[in-house]
Each structure stands twice: as structure tokens, then as C-alpha cells.
């Protein structure tokens, strides 16, 4: 019998929240509200992505809530968001993992990269993104304001799904997973 994943509802973010604008060297150059950061071609801002694995080596994926402005209803990595002004990336990872998934994690920084992706007329992501990996055997209690579903998936199945059904997944997940597997495989096994 499959264990039922539990949910909860809590508003933890809004479009007026200030994000940290950065240059390509990750030096802060200002602040701008989240909505404006994602308008048009987007403004480069600091962000993070977290991949949570269990002891079986499965990755926790989340399906973004339909009401998300960008890539709502798409499958993505375990957790992704932005640090608040004055907050470290490590603290932001812990905060958002708890807010979105109900999981407290000890995340390890793996690498950083810059990307941009356009989502039709809705806006863009333009982020300098730090990628983290963590491990837990706890089950998520996900926040339905942020997430519509969660599932654990084996790495080989994720790799196949990203080829067979690429249009069901966020662009950053595809970029990050390829780099994690090809350049940081040891970090995935050691998490």
C-alpha cells in the first residue's frame, strides 16, 4: 500500500516580495519586487534550487501549483525559490523547504549557474541560481498554495521522462539535472 502524502495550505510568498538583483558575478546591485523581476525578459536576480533525495536514491519532485504565474502545473525539482533581502541562500533553502514541503533539511551547495527562460507572454525567469542537494527519509507535507502534487522518482526514470515528456517539466529542472548527473554525480550519491 502506498503511503498517502499529506497536504496543508499556507500563503508564504507574494508578487510584492523584494528579490535581490545581482550581476553575473553574484554581486547585489539592487532590489525589485518579484512581479517586476519576472516581467518581459526578466531582471537577473538571486535564486536557488534544491534536490532532495531519499535513502533509495529517489529524487523528490514537485508539481507547481496551477496558479503559479510561470510554469504553473509543470513538474520541477524538490524546491526552488529566492532568498529574501538580508537572508543567506542557505537560510532561504531551509525556510522554503519547510514552507513548501514541511521538511527540515541539511542542504549542501553544489554549483551556481545563470539562465533565462521565457514562458509565453506571462513573463520570464532570469536567475543566478545556486543548486543544493539534501537527503531525507521523511515524507513531505506539501503546501497546496505552492505545490499541487509530489512524487519520488528514480534517477533513471527522471532522465527518461525529461526526454520523453520534456514539455511537462520546468526548464531549470532540465538544465540542473543534466549538470548534476554529468558533472556532480558524486554529490548526488553522497547526499
Residue 53 in contact with residue 45, Cβ under 8 Å? no
Distance of alpha carbon 85 from alpha carbon 47, whole angstroms: 12
100 is catalytic: no
> From the DSSP assignment, how many helices (H) and strands (E) are in the chain?
5, 11
Q: How far is CA 44 from CA 30, 57, 58, 86, in A?
A: 10, 33, 31, 17
Is 80 in the active site? yes
Give strand pairing partners of 21.
Answer: 30, 45
Task: Exactly one of 37, 100, 125, 127 is catalytic; name it.
Answer: 127
List 37, 79, 80, 129, catalytic entry: 80
DSSP for residue 169: B
Among all residues, which ones are annotated catalytic?
80, 127
Amino acid at each position: 500500500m502506498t503511503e498517502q502524502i499529506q497536504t496543508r495550505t499556507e500563503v508564504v510568498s507574494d508578487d510584492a516580495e523584494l528579490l535581490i538583483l545581482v550581476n553575473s558575478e553574484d554581486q547585489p546591485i539592487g532590489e525589485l519586487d518579484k512581479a517586476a523581476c519576472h516581467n518581459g525578459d526578466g531582471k537577473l536576480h538571486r535564486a536557488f534550487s534544491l534536490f532532495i533525495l531519499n535513502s533509495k536514491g529517489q529524487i523528490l519532485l514537485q508539481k507547481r501549483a496551477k496558479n503559479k504565474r510561470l510554469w504553473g502545473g509543470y513538474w520541477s525539482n524538490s524546491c526552488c525559490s529566492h532568498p529574501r533581502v538580508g537572508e543567506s541562500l542557505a537560510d532561504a533553502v531551509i525556510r522554503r523547504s519547510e514552507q513548501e514541503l514541511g521538511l527540515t533539511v541539511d542542504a549542501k551547495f553544489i554549483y551556481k549557474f545563470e539562465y533565462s527562460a521565457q514562458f509565453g507572454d506571462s513573463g520570464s525567469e532570469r536567475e543566478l541560481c545556486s543548486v543544493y542537494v539534501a537527503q531525507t527519509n521523511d515524507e513531505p507535507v506539501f503546501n497546496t498554495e505552492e505545490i499541487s502534487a509530489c512524487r519520488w522518482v528514480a534517477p533513471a526514470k527522471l532522465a527518461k521522462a525529461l526526454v520523453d515528456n520534456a514539455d511537462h517539466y520546468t526548464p531549470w529542472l532540465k538544465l540542473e539535472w543534466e549538470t548534476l548527473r554529468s558533472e556532480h554525480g558524486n554529490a548526488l550519491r553522497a547526499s
